Structure 1
């Protein structure tokens, strides 16, 4: 049995994605900062028959991500699918003219150092399996920079570039990297951007392995 590792486990998209991949037969490693929160999620998944376990780590502490992913693989089995989708902090989204060089340190750690560390932690196991999937979830500022959200615009663009390079480089090894852009808020009443719909879309990206960048819905004009 292989593992679906989710960085950014929450009660919305994270829980829905964990349920979708877990009911498909993967064990689930939930990675987030709060241990009590992780216990609640694993209990809810257990009621659905999903084998899940929580591992504490912080996307702003890349070393903790590597430790958590190694522990997950040791406890649950090799990571076949990695989803990187932690929720960004509000202070990443200052207007561009109010953003200093120091203000970019945390967003770039979150969206570049975190993904690079996570991928390097799981890639050896994927290579041993002979397959793998790397899923990156970003907001619309990844492809359309927004002057009121400078930190995420810069950091998501860098994450996008890294993920695209992974897509091109790892394809010959049967390791698929894909990005899902969610232009607006994830909301239960949204037709295409509700948690369950996005979870189904992410699972399809894993199984269909068709192209790099995908959109939950069209970018607004």
Structure 2
């Protein structure tokens, strides 16, 4: 059975994506920091074959182990979505952002995705198919001095994703980035989930920008 792994799963976009891919026959591995919230999400997703795995993206060993367990439990991971919400300290104005906060934002938005990709990519390459989907806010496309840490880190995440896109396409592994400017409204989660499904299926350009 084919599996979608959502790193940063929550009751908004994560749940909508789980339902969209679940309707297509995917099992869904839900990763986030708190197991109690994951357990509730699994209960809410009663029509989807899903399981929750607690992992902090700042802990590389924990994140890799969660993805390994998910593949063992649910089947090979064919789609990886990396979409955890940035932590509050990454959203300070650029002149108030410390070196340590920028470093932690890098760990969150660049080292975290690299850990996740390194865990699932060997299987994708062996099977000759797969998708790696990054979800970022508007500062992922245009740096915003009001959110310094995130802008710095998203720039690195976008560069990493773009390089993967150019490197892996010939092997059947699509890498894409969905940019969502502003806050996600509850009534647009299904639309965004549909866009991520089309990115997986249509395998087009690297960056897709959500417009309202």
Alignment TM-score, normalising by the size of structure 1:
0.94
| Aligned counterpart in structure 1 of residue 58 of structure 2, from 57, 60, 68 | 60
1:150 aligns with 2:144: no
Question: Which residues in structure 2 correspond to 1:174-185 (within 5 Å)?
Answer: 174-185=172-183
Partner residue in 2 for 1:77:
75
Partner residue in 1 for 2:205:
211
Distance in 1, matches of 2:198 and 2:18, equals 14
Distance in 1, matches of 2:195 and 2:116, equals 22
Partner residue in 1 for 2:38:
38
The root-mean-square deviation of aligned C-alpha atoms, in Å, is 1.0
SS of structure 2 residue aligned to 1:116? helix
- Which deviations, in whole Å up to 9, do the C-alpha atoms of 1:46-91 show, x marking residues without a partner? 2x2x100111101121221111000101111000000000011111
| Aligned counterpart in structure 2 of residue 101 of structure 1, from 96, 99, 102 | 99
- Which deviations, in whole Å up to 9, do the C-alpha atoms of 1:22-54 show, x marking residues without a partner? 1110110000111111111111112x2x10011
| Aligned counterpart in structure 2 of residue 112 of structure 1, from 95, 110, 120 | 110
1:141 aligns with 2:167: no
Partner residue in 2 for 1:170:
168
Partner residue in 2 for 1:10:
10
**Farther-moved stretch of structure 1 (35-44 vs 110-119):** 35-44
Distance in 1, matches of 2:167 and 2:101, equals 31
Distance in 2, matches of 1:31 and 1:111, equals 15
Shift of 1:128: 2.2
Distance in 1, matches of 2:126 and 2:71, equals 13
- Which deviations, in whole Å up to 9, do the C-alpha atoms of 1:90-116 show, x marking residues without a partner? 110111111221121211010000000
- Which deviations, in whole Å up to 9, do the C-alpha atoms of 1:171-197 show, x marking residues without a partner? 0100000000001110124xxxx2111
Shift of 1:217: 0.9
Moved segments of 4+, more than 6 Å: none
Partner residue in 1 for 2:27:
27
Structure 2: tracts of 5 or more residues without a match: none
Alignment TM-score, normalising by the size of structure 2:
0.98
Question: Which residues in structure 2 correspond to 1:118-129 (within 5 Å)?
Answer: 118-129=116-127
Distance in 2, matches of 1:87 and 1:215, equals 18
SS of structure 2 residue aligned to 1:88? coil
Structure 1: tracts of 5 or more residues without a match: none
